Structure 1
Amino acid sequence: MSVDINDIGSQKVKSIGTGESVELKAFWDDQNVAIIFFRRWGCMLCRLWAKELGEIAPVLNKHNIKLIGVGVEEAGSKEFVNGKFFDGDLYYVENISTYQTLGFKRFNVVTILTSLFWKQSRDAIFKGRGMGLGGDLKGDWVQTGGAVLVEKGGKLLRHFVQTGPGDHLSNKDILQHFGLENEYNPETMANKKPEEKECTTEAKP
């Protein structure tokens, strides 16, 4: 799906920390930015993605690339902040239509539960459990998310849409789009594969 950067930029988000309302375009007015749209603050797989991003946060910061996390709602955000899962600024959208504008689809209860049996989900669940990330039932279960990488001034570098809850834009992909592939370290925690593949699907999506 192609998206218009102007349509994205006009969408408003609210700071979890201050309550300030800002348009997304404000984030790329004066610097490059990676904006991650999480599907649910209490989702263990979202917490895993947030922790993975922490591995490249110092690289992004060094190159003046802002890391932003956005949620579909405020519910569950306090626990996400207190858990220190994300090394960046956190917001939530003022209207769910922002996720629709970005092409992030909604599952239903049956399809979201089925998606937890996909290999990418099972691997992520196993990894998240191993890291003790936990999860809860708060918020919108069926919304998916994604990410946008934007160059200073508003050039869209990457528009990523999740196919399922365990689908994450990799750290390597993010760095490559900002021309920082030489600083990618495949031996970090974020990029190691779980040693075992078998797990149950008791995680809260």
Structure 2
Amino acid sequence: MVAVGLEEVGVEDYMKGNYFSGEVYIDQKQQCYKDMGYKRYGILSGLMSILKKVSRAAMAKAKEQNITGDFKGDGFQNGGTIIVSAGGSECLLNWRQENPGEHVPLEDVLKALGIDGGAPATEQKAEAPKVVCEDDVCYKK
């Protein structure tokens, strides 16, 4: 598995948080984002996008789970999820983020990988760990 980020801001903390176990690359020119046709917001359209229902719902869920963050870095670039077959000959899933609060549905990922049974049920913990970001540092509390 590989992840492609668009800048180095926050990468060190991301790696320390063990959110992803694959290889991480940085495309500072954002060429792969352009080549894949991923949406990039301007200032006005970016502000309008956070007012959409899906974005508000994502912010509410993050707040409910005590996930905080900062607004450092490029928040105007949307991304996506691509799954290719072993050897890279076939694209199994090409999901594009339309709004900042969206994430690829886990069911779509499982289906693309040929895994039956749907997403695993998760237990709601009494209290999720709190992620706190100060200046350039994020940590779990």
State the TM bucket, normalised to the shorter chain: 0.7 to 0.9
After TM superposition, give the deviation of residue 164 of structure 1 in Å.
1.0
What's the counterpart of residue 141 of structure 1?
Answer: 75
Question: Hey, what's the Cα distance between the residues in 2 that align with 1:183 and 1:142?
Answer: 32
What's the counterpart of residue 174 of structure 1?
Answer: 109
Question: Hey, what's the Cα distance between the residues in 1 that align with 2:109 and 2:117?
Answer: 12
Are 1:74 and 2:3 counterparts?
no
Question: Hey, what's the Cα distance between the residues in 2 that align with 1:123 and 1:70?
Answer: 25
After TM superposition, give the deviation of residue 85 of structure 1 in Å.
5.8
Query: How big is the alpha-carbon RMSD for the aligned residues of Structure 1 and Structure 2?
Result: 1.9
What's the counterpart of residue 162 of structure 1?
Answer: 97
Structure 1 pair 134–81 and aligned structure 2 pair: CA distance change class (3 A): farther
Are 1:120 and 2:54 counterparts?
yes
Scaled by the length of structure 1, the TM-score of the pair is 0.54
Structure 1 pair 85–122 and aligned structure 2 pair: CA distance change class (3 A): farther
After TM superposition, give the deviation of residue 88 of structure 1 in Å.
2.1
Question: Hey, what's the Cα distance between the residues in 2 that align with 1:72 and 1:105?
Answer: 13
Count residues with an aligned counterpart: 122
Scaled by the length of structure 2, the TM-score of the pair is 0.77
What's the counterpart of residue 101 of structure 1?
Answer: 35
C-alpha contact 1:69 1:88 (8 A) present in aligned 2: no
Question: Hey, what's the Cα distance between the residues in 2 that align with 1:91 and 1:120?
Answer: 28
Question: Which of residues 147, 150, 156 in structure 1 aligns to 2:84?
Answer: 150
After TM superposition, give the deviation of residue 94 of structure 1 in Å.
4.8
Deviations 1:75-107 (A, max 9, x none): 22123233x161322332253111101111110
Structure 1 pair 189–158 and aligned structure 2 pair: CA distance change class (3 A): farther
C-alpha contact 1:172 1:181 (8 A) present in aligned 2: no
C-alpha contact 2:8 2:26 (8 A) present in aligned 1: yes
Structure 1 vs Structure 2: percent identity of aligned residues? 30
Question: Hey, what's the Cα distance between the residues in 2 that align with 1:145 and 1:108?
Answer: 15
User: Which of the two has greater helix per residue?
Assistant: 1
| Structure 1: stretches of 5+ with no match in the other structure | 1-65, 191-205
Higher relative contact order (CA 8 A, sep 6+): 1
